Amino acid sequence: MSEWPIYFKDRLTISNLDSPIVIATLWTPKEVIEKMVPAESYSLMGQFYTKKGINYIVRNILANPFITKIYLVGSDLMESGEAFIKFLENGVDEDYKIIGDETATIEQQISKEAIAKFRENIEVVDLRGAENLKKIAETIAKEPEPILPLKTWCDSETFEDPPKPQISTFPSELDLMKIRRPLIADAYLSVLKHINMFGIDSEPVIGYVSSSSNKMKELLNLSVSITEEDPKKWNVPEHMPFSKTDLDNYFKGFFDHDRGTEDYTYGERLFNYASEEIDHLKEAYPWLKIDRFQKFFPHGGIDQVAVSIIRKLKSFKYDKGGNCSFGKSIYRHVSSTST
């Protein structure tokens, strides 16, 4: 099948198609794992960021069902790997929700019979977490040599994609827009609505460009005010495509200065920005005595929250530095979610 894999082909590393093994690297950059294992030991390798990605794994493998084993490796930041394991163990309910997970679903275009075949024939090797990175090469080296030619465990099947909404952009003066809602969940939906209605088409961020995700809408100068939410008891309604647990896991990375095994995190960029560059400056220009500004980079890089936000909030007693810090707020919406 020359067009296989049919989803995210340009984002996957395609290696030895005589291997029945796939490596899903979750939030850890696949380039890190590629250096650890021989190329001939796997057929495909790629990121597996979100629970929605389960659908693309299922679709790709059912389209060419010679894969029998999936390695889950790396940082499971959004618990997509955990949801995949529950999918294999428990299946889906009558509404196609993965049993045992709060939010993960399988697209209803994929038949229940095909889902059953997938679960019967796919084995998962769970090597998630930074502590298991060194075990990947050792474990995969113990895999038996495949018997060639590889046999498929069912007939090839493809399924219709879910319908995609047609998004139009309405005219706007592109001036400041303000959204005021009582709760964060209400404001979140309103933000998405405004982006879809008034956002302008923009060049996508390099990491998001692919044949499956190549459009991006951007809305400048959008301000959001929450009036009634209790910050200690905030809640996520059931209709949201994520749970409070998902958000709690996301917050850990968002507010952690250490990016771990990931390519980057917002926490690193907020609290530990350009740490390597700061080290190079210290080495190249010791006479600058950069350490005298240590309070601005307590973790090695620049603490942008302390420097750019808190300091300005304290300095501008009338407008809280709004003209300086927050006048160019940008909200972005990528047209399709990455796996």
Q: What is the pLDDT of residue 80?
A: 94
Q: Does residue 328 carry a pLDDT above 60?
A: no
**Which residues, including other chains, have CB under 8 Å from residue 164's CB and lie 6 or more apart?**
none
Of the candidates 329, 336, 334, the residue with the CA atom closest to the CA atom of residue 204: 334
Q: Is the pLDDT of residue 138 over 90?
A: yes
> Are 33 and 25 contacting, i.e. CB atoms less than 8 angstroms apart?
yes
61-91 pLDDT tens trace? 999 999 999 999 999 988 999 999 999 999 9
Mean pLDDT of 117-129: 96
Assess whether pLDDT exceeds 70 at residue 164: yes
C-alpha distances out from residue 71 to 103, 112, 139, Å = 23, 24, 10
Cα four-point dihedral sign 188, 190, 193, 197: negative
Is 60 exceeded by the pLDDT of residue 336?
Answer: no
Q: What share of the chain is helix, strand, coil (3-state, %, to 5)?
A: 35, 15, 50
DSSP state of 20: -
Average pLDDT, the chain: 85
Give me the half-sphere count of Cα atoms (radius 13 Å) on the Cβ side of residue 263: 12
Contact 49, 140 (CB under 8 A): no
- Where residue 167 falls among pLDDT bands split at 50, 70, 90? low
Q: How does residue 326 score in pLDDT terms, banded at 50, 70 and 90? A: very low
Asked if residue 312 has pLDDT above 60, the reply is yes
> Sorting pLDDT into bands at 50, 70 and 90, what band is 113?
very high
Q: Is residue 325 pLDDT above 60, yes or no?
A: no
Report whether 114 contacts 60 (CB < 8 A): no
Pair 215, 168: CB distance under 8 Å:
no
User: What average pLDDT does the segment 12-31 reach?
Assistant: 94
Q: Which residues contact 307 (CB under 8 A, 6 or more apart)?
A: 296
The pLDDT tens digits for 179-211 are: 999 999 999 999 999 998 888 887 766 555 555
- What is the structure's pLDDT at 31? 92
Distance CA(275)–CA(336), nearest Å, equals 32
Cβ(329)–Cβ(223) below 8 Å:
yes
Sign of CA dihedral 25, 29, 31, 36: negative
Q: Cα separation of 107 and 336, whole Å? A: 15
Helix ranges restricted to H, 207-290: 244-254, 266-271, 275-284
Average pLDDT of the residues in 283-300: 82
pLDDT in tens, 25-53: 999 999 999 999 999 999 999 999 999 99
Helix axis angle, 80-90 to 53-63, nearest 10°: 50
pLDDT (0 to 100) of residue 297: 82
Sequence spans of domains, the chain = 9-141, 177-257+303-334
Between 209 and 277, name the one with better pLDDT.
277
The model's confidence at residue 266, banded by pLDDT at 50, 70 and 90, is confident
Residue whose C-alpha is closest to residue 71's, from 58, 84, 59, 86: 84
Integer angstrom CA distances of residue 206 from 52, 202, 262, 334: 21, 12, 17, 12
Cα 194 to Cα 200: distance, rounded to the nearest angstrom: 11
C-alpha pair distances (Å), 311 with each of 133, 271, 304, 308: 40, 14, 10, 6
Q: Which residue, chain included where needed, has tokens 């047609």?
A: 166
- Identity at 309, one-letter amino acid code: I
The alpha carbon of 70 is separated from its chain's Cα centroid by a whole number of angstroms, namely 19
Q: Which residues pair with 69 in a beta bridge?
A: 21, 123
Please state whether beta strands 222-226 and 200-202 pair in parallel, antiparallel, or not at all (unpaired): unpaired
